[in-house]
Structure 1
Amino acid sequence: MTIWLPDLSSGSGPLYLRLAERIESDIDSGVLASGSKLPPQRDLAYDIGVTIGTVGRAYALLRERGLVSGEVGRGTYVLERHGSRPSPSAPPTLAHEGSRTVEAPPGKLRFDSTAAPNVGQSKTIETVLAAIGRDNPDDVTSYTRTFPDHWFEAGSHWLSRNGFRPSPDTIVPTLGAHAAVVATIAAVTQPGDHILFEHVTYTQIARSAGLIGRRMALVNSDAHGVDPDDFEAVCAQKHPKLAFLMPTGQNPTVATMPAERRAAIAEIARKYNVLLVEDDLYGALTDDATPLLAEFAPERAFVVGGLSKSVAAGVRGGWVSCPTHYRHSIRVAHKMVTGGMPFLVAELCAQLVLSGEATKIHARSVAEINARLDAVRRTLQGYDFNIAPNIPFIWLALPEPWNSGTFKNAAYGQGVLIDDEDEFKAGRSDQVFHRVRIGISAPATRSEVDNGLAKIRQLLDEGDAGYDSFG
């Protein structure tokens, strides 16, 4: 009997996407006929030398495209095709951005986002935008050529936390925190330089850095954040130019680094001349009183923040505070990598912050997040997960026999979108966590949160029965 195996020797892009496209091609050509059973995920992963998560993502994408169906307890089967085949150039039914769908598929609950919850902030934003359009007609319709002082003052105010009080002359307004970090990397490093990341982190930064020719160096972490000993070892071996860190409310582990460890990291960075980007997006949500990493190394630290997690992700506003002599180069780099700062966005962010409206929305967002975290504690009681006040996600440890990719697929089958650990791996890592991240801020209502959490609890309780749900 001939055993079907997909050929992944050609093509480009993520492995899961190449695998899905190869299977789709074999379906189109008749190699895989209607009714054919695809290999179980674990078997196929072993046979072609990829992770189960990679196979799971490919199978999920094929289900979204209507090519296969997963039958509980039986496996994944090729569906019968009806009518003419769409043109190869036609887009899939659901648009993707990386491994995530841009919009949640019909009937699915989005637990794979940590954007600020909807607490009615659109009314405030509408009022401010109307006033900006009325009072600044010329600026709204033209390119931004000058930055008024209050844009820098707003950034100084928003980034201030604990003992950290950046001067307005250290601030660069940006199109969100992501753009701030990428602009900083582009400005202070060169192609070929190593950028240091934790094994699991916000990987969009790592992917962006790779896109502009930077190389990855991975550092170990534990329950208290980056391990200083390993940080020094990596600095000595790889000579990274810059480290991207999230000392407070790390994404996805929720870890917060204690002060003594921050001091150690700062001293090591000084010893090896490593610049530090401190992403404080989630830190700004917390009441954590630990001094920022930048307070220990002000001459080499860049602090990044924005409005996406506590005010409104759609506004795309942020700032970076930097050592003064880097300010001009980062501002230029930001313009080069983004096309420039739109007046409407920068003015909206500044007015929201300086009027106090952003602080009010922040308070409502935190209250809503904490109410949803209470639901997590109630529903998932008895299971192991990292959780912290004000942080809109948890890092859930999976009991035997679950692994991360399989659990993500099973949750999808139950109508819940979550992130497996591969989503957060900055590079090819041999570390396995058997965890998933569950965000609780995106569902529209608390009842939707309760519904999604109940489905996750059911999967956890099912154990072996749930493990084989998708063949």
Structure 2
Amino acid sequence: MNNIYIVPMTILSLIKSRAPATGQKYSQLESLFRQAIREGTLQPGEKLPPLRDAAWQAGCSLGTMSRVYAALERRGMVTAEVGRGTFVREEASIGADIILPRPSSSRKSDSNLADIGVIDLAMNAITNEEGEDLLRWALRRTADKASSLTLMTYRDGYGTAAQKLAMRAFLPACLQQVGEERLLINHGAQNGIFTALNRLTSPGDTICLEPLCYPGVSAALSQAGLSSVIVECDDRGIDPVDFERLCQAGRLRLLVTTPTGHNPTCITTPLERRLQIGEIAKKYDVLVIEDDIYGFLYPDAPPPYAALFPDNAIYLTGLAKRLTPSLRIGVSVASPQITMLMAQGITAQSWMVSPVLAVAASELALRHDSLQKMIDASLVQADEREKLTRAELADKVVSLKFCRSHAWLKLPDSCNVDLFVKQAELAGVLVTSGQRFSSRTGSGNQHIRLSIMAPRKTETLVIALSKLGAILTTPTLNSVEYF
């Protein structure tokens, strides 16, 4: 009897046999790799082939394959190690946590993190003492005031004129006089980004991203099946020269940016630079999507793009940071045509934004004094927490930048970031690796974001900072050796 040898399938042979011959190779190759990881062709801990080898087998450019690897890294499916290559993550770390990773402790149980002694500096929340009471007040008012028409009927994606006008209270002063035809109530800034990407693009369009950006943008891009290019940035934000180069080079449809209190780099783009970027976008018919979820903490920030270039910009904000993430509601400002298209997108996704939430938000908008009091308290608290963080960590890191919601740390080259994150979790502190914000391989690799406004008590932040400082002082020790 002849022996029959079955040649095991490898990722290279899979690429060679299934790589698309035509069309958008990037998205198809990404799907092929994701399937290989989920089906076990690529095992946890296995090293991906060199980019050049994979590109050769796929018949694509080195740049296309590099984007595929970067997309897998953003999804948390692989990890790139300088000088060693790219490896499939362990199975326990691959899941639905494509925006921010879940701590191992919360994977094992549903216990509240505070109950198990964990201090969460990973999720960028902004604590406030009066928010819960204010929310309960608004919900009671809604229950008492909402009509049967509100409670018991369908609406469409447009929302009512009265509710949209009320939501202007959550906009910067320079946008508070816009007409209701430019306003749209949505399910929050993340939903606004997702709706814009899905409703305002066509096959073949390209989206422009900053090298480091909120991971929810990359997640929305992936869901929409859109490709992206990365614009260079400096300490004032987007580089206008590079942005114009990208506009000239391809079919660029949207620019997604956070010019005020940028997450994670803490940059606020000055007015002069915003005018330059806006003029270039207008020249090449590129829409600017501005995520201004932290803008309320920067009353002196330059005007948003939607005020400077009303026909070429979409302004997005919400109540998640200002009041509570549980109130999934936000507002956008754009031209009437774009607002109409996005309203159709809301209808297609969920038919309508919950009228109950819209009434609650409208009631909250009337509490201007209380809302302003919370903002003022947050600004004072942000200054205090910046001083504490600087005092504990400034001499232990390469650089330390601050927003009014978070800090952006560059760790010494001798410190392995992945190990630091694991040591911090062992010590009871959750932090976010800069790689989670990377739109391209290599950006933010030596950085950590700390959400210094998340703990309810300043004393809790002090404990967390002291633990992180100890880890940075003795980076080679396991956390359990000194805690």
TM-score range, shorter chain: 0.7 to 0.9
Please list, as runs of the form range in 1=range in 2, the aligned pairs for 1:74-223 lying within 5 A after superposition: 96=97, 98-101=99-102, 103=106, 106-136=116-146, 138=148, 139-145=150-156, 147-162=159-174, 165-223=177-235
Per-residue CA distance 1:113-138 (angstroms, 9 max, x = gap): 11231413111211221121122252
Structure 1 pair 97/239, CA: closer, same or farther in 2 (3 Å)?
closer
Match for 2:383: what amino acid? N
Per-residue CA distance 1:46-71 (angstroms, 9 max, x = gap): 898316xx75xx49849xxxxxxxxx
Distance in 2 (alpha carbons) for counterparts of 1:412 and 1:263: 43
Which consecutive residues of structure 2, in runs of 5 or more, have no partner in the other structure? 1-9, 15-31, 46-78, 107-111
Q: How many residues align?
A: 410
CA contact (8 A) 2:146 2:359 kept: no
Determine whether 1:379 maps to 2:379.
no
Per-residue CA distance 1:139-163 (angstroms, 9 max, x = gap): 2344334733231112323122457
Distance in 2 (alpha carbons) for counterparts of 1:155 and 1:260: 29
Higher relative contact order (CA 8 A, sep 6+): 1
Match for 2:401: what amino acid? I
Q: Which residue of 1 aligns with 2:320?
A: 308
CA contact (8 A) 1:155 1:168 kept: no
Per-residue CA distance 1:171-225 (angstroms, 9 max, x = gap): 1001111111211222211233111110110121222122112111111111111
CA contact (8 A) 1:311 1:362 kept: no
Distance in 2 (alpha carbons) for counterparts of 1:457 and 1:199: 28
Structure 1 pair 388/343, CA: closer, same or farther in 2 (3 Å)?
same
- SS, match of residue 196 in structure 1: strand
Q: Which residue of 1 aligns with 2:354?
A: 342
Match for 2:102: what amino acid? T
- SS, match of residue 380 in structure 1: helix
2:263 is matched with which residue: 232, 251, 272? 251
More displaced 10-residue stretch of structure 1: 455-464 or 343-352:
455-464
Distance in 2 (alpha carbons) for counterparts of 1:176 and 1:364: 23
Q: Which residue of 2 aligns with 1:40?
A: none
Determine whether 1:408 maps to 2:421.
yes
Structure 1 pair 237/403, CA: closer, same or farther in 2 (3 Å)?
farther
Structure 1 pair 148/45, CA: closer, same or farther in 2 (3 Å)?
closer
CA contact (8 A) 1:193 1:214 kept: yes
Match for 2:271: what amino acid? A
How far residue 18 of structure 1 moved from its aligned partner, in angstroms, is 8.7
- SS, match of residue 50 in structure 1: strand
Q: Which residue of 2 aligns with 1:49?
A: 85
- SS, match of residue 101 in structure 1: coil
Match for 1:122: what amino acid? E
Distance in 1 (alpha carbons) for counterparts of 2:376 and 2:425: 32
CA contact (8 A) 2:260 2:292 kept: yes
CA contact (8 A) 2:212 2:264 kept: yes
Poorly superposed stretches of 4+, deviation over 6 Å = 7-12, 14-19, 466-469
Which consecutive residues of structure 1, in runs of 5 or more, have no partner in the other structure? 1-6, 25-42, 63-91
How far residue 227 of structure 1 moved from its aligned partner, in angstroms, is 0.9
Distance in 2 (alpha carbons) for counterparts of 1:8 and 1:468: 39
How far residue 12 of structure 1 moved from its aligned partner, in angstroms, is 6.4
The alignment yields a C-alpha RMSD, in angstroms, of: 3.4
- SS, match of residue 115 in structure 1: coil
Distance in 2 (alpha carbons) for counterparts of 1:47 and 1:385: 24
Q: Which residue of 1 aligns with 2:298?
A: 286
CA contact (8 A) 2:212 2:443 kept: no
- SS, match of residue 100 in structure 1: coil
How far residue 446 of structure 1 moved from its aligned partner, in angstroms, is 1.5
Distance in 1 (alpha carbons) for counterparts of 2:291 and 2:316: 5
Distance in 1 (alpha carbons) for counterparts of 2:258 and 2:247: 18
Distance in 2 (alpha carbons) for counterparts of 1:44 and 1:169: 46
CA contact (8 A) 1:252 1:395 kept: yes
Match for 2:145: what amino acid? D
Distance in 2 (alpha carbons) for counterparts of 1:221 and 1:14: 34
Determine whether 1:462 maps to 2:474.
yes
Taking structure 1 as the reference length, the TM-score comes to 0.77
- SS, match of residue 440 in structure 1: coil
CA contact (8 A) 2:197 2:220 kept: no
Structure 1 pair 444/129, CA: closer, same or farther in 2 (3 Å)?
same
Please list, as runs of the form range in 1=range in 2, the aligned pairs for 1:60-71 lying within 5 A after superposition: 61=93
- SS, match of residue 252 in structure 2: coil
- SS, match of residue 86 in structure 2: coil
Taking structure 2 as the reference length, the TM-score comes to 0.76
Structure 1 pair 298/164, CA: closer, same or farther in 2 (3 Å)?
farther
CA contact (8 A) 1:159 1:166 kept: no
Distance in 2 (alpha carbons) for counterparts of 1:454 and 1:369: 18
CA contact (8 A) 1:162 1:289 kept: no
More displaced 10-residue stretch of structure 1: 358-367 or 312-321:
358-367
2:247 is matched with which residue: 235, 238, 257? 235
Per-residue CA distance 1:397-423 (angstroms, 9 max, x = gap): 101311432322222222211111121
Q: Which residue of 2 aligns with 1:3?
A: none
Structure 1 pair 373/136, CA: closer, same or farther in 2 (3 Å)?
same
Structure 1 pair 197/182, CA: closer, same or farther in 2 (3 Å)?
same
Distance in 2 (alpha carbons) for counterparts of 1:240 and 1:216: 9
CA contact (8 A) 2:164 2:180 kept: yes
Percent identity, aligned pairs only, is 23
How far residue 306 of structure 1 moved from its aligned partner, in angstroms, is 1.0
Q: Which residue of 1 aligns with 2:465?
A: 453
Structure 1 pair 325/361, CA: closer, same or farther in 2 (3 Å)?
same
Distance in 1 (alpha carbons) for counterparts of 2:363 and 2:265: 33
Match for 2:375: what amino acid? H
Match for 2:468: what amino acid? I
